[in-house]
Each structure stands twice: as C-alpha cells, then as structure tokens.
Amino acid sequence: MAERRALPPPVPPASPDPAASSGAVSTAFGSPLDPVAARPHQPRDTYIVHVQKDQIYRIPPPENAYLAERYRAEGGGGGGKGGACSPCALRTLGAVLAAALLLGAAAALSAVVLRPDAPSFVVDNLSVHTNASRHHHVAYDFFLTAINPNKVTALWYGGRGTARLAHKGNALAKGGVGEPEDGGEDATGFNVLLHGTQRDGRTPRAVEKALRGSKGAVTLDLAVEFAVQVHAGALGFERRTLAVSCHITAAGLRKDVHISSQTCKSRFRN
C-alpha cells in the first residue's frame, strides 16, 4: 500500500517592495518629482534690464499747446473750423429771423391799413316833406350814423356822395350826401337828402297811399356811395369808394316816419 505524504502549504507570492520599485524607476529613468536631484544643474546666461517709469522719450511741439487751448476755448467738438463758423451761423440766423419779422409786420400793416373793415351804418331818422302846391314833389331826409370798427385806422369822408331811393325796384328819389356834421375824420353823422322823381308821371300805389297818411307798411331801399380815405396816424392812403345799402320798412311816409325795421350793409368797392 502506497504511503501518503503531506504536501507543504502553498507559499503566497511576495508583494512587491515599493521602495525597491521606486529605486528601480529612479535608477532607470530618474525621479519625476526631483528633477534637480536627478539632473545636474547647467549654468545659463542672465541679463538685467533697468526701465525708468518717468522717462520722457519725446517733447511735444509748442503748437500743440496752442491747438489744445483753442479747442477748449471753442467748446470742443466739430474741429476748429466748425467752432469758428458758429458766430457766423448765429448772425445769419438772427438776420433771417429779423427779415421774417419785418415781412410779417409789413403783411400785418398791409392787411390793417390797405384792407380795413367797412364801417357799419344805421338809419336814425327819416322825415318826408311834401310840397303843398306840388303834391308830387317829395323830399326824403335821412340821417345816418356810421361806426368805424377799425382800431388802428381812421376813415376820412370827403366830397359829396350820391344817394338813390327805390321801392321794389321803382325809383322814388335821388340826391346827395351832405358834409359830415362832426368833421371828416372818423365822422359818425351824415345827412342824406333826396328829392322825389316820378317814373312815367306816376308814383307806386303803396308809396302814394303812405304819403297820404296811410299807416300801412311800406318798404324802401336806400343806396349811398361816397369817397373815403384811410388814415394811419399822419399817413394817408388812396381814396376808396364806400357803398352802403339799407333795406327799410316804414309805417307811413308822413313828416316823422316810424321805422319798423332796417338792415344796412356796407362794403368798399375798390
């Protein structure tokens, strides 16, 4: 019978020695953590450069100071040439504004003086006078009041004007305008005297009845024209023709006529 022998226990492999491994690496390739110890020091050339911080390399020319001072005096921006032209631009702008103001003043003066508003008129009184011996000879005496709406200009009435009176298109009388009672400058009161005229020897029936004393309403159309001169202070301008038309409704045509209603319009013809 074969004899059995006990085998010896297995021996574990020896762990590598870190020191030995490091020594091996350092011996073969040198240690990466200690290059100075592994590699011998090699001397190098060294250069030292001194730089002065306050060293001035270039002195600017004197004209630069003059240019800088001029730039500050002109407010900067836009260059010296643009700054030098700014006073010229201001003077030009002032001249343009002055010219515009003068033109505006001339236009306003022209509108006020050369084209004033026409005065308004009111018929204050009407008297009718009949000749006893000549029944058909009738005189119509109107008194008109003028109101000048212009505050700057005055209206001078000069010379004798003309007047016409009609009834529904039929001529009744014609005459003239007397001298203003309160002078020619901005006159307010005018006397207009018209003398009756007959058409084909006949007087309109409504007018004939009113002349005989009827109190029935009768319509009359008064047209007056006279010359007016516009004045602004001591300056007088060309004469203009003023046309006035009044539509009147009267109750009878006796001596003192009662005016029931009236509408007067006026305008400059030129």
Calculate mean pLDDT across residues 248-264.
Answer: 91
Distances, alpha carbon 124 to alpha carbons 41, 134, 183, in Å: 136, 28, 19
Percent of the chain residues past pLDDT 90, beyond the cut: 23
Confidence of residue 85 (pLDDT cuts 50, 70, 90): low
pTM: 0.58
Distances, alpha carbon 190 to alpha carbons 145, 176, 182, 184, 225, in Å: 6, 11, 9, 10, 12
Domain positions in the chain: 120-269
CA-to-CA distance for 65 and 123, rounded, in angstroms?
87
Question: If you average pLDDT over every residue of the chain, what do you get?
Answer: 76
Single-letter code of the amino acid located at 73: A
Single-letter code of the amino acid located at 228: V
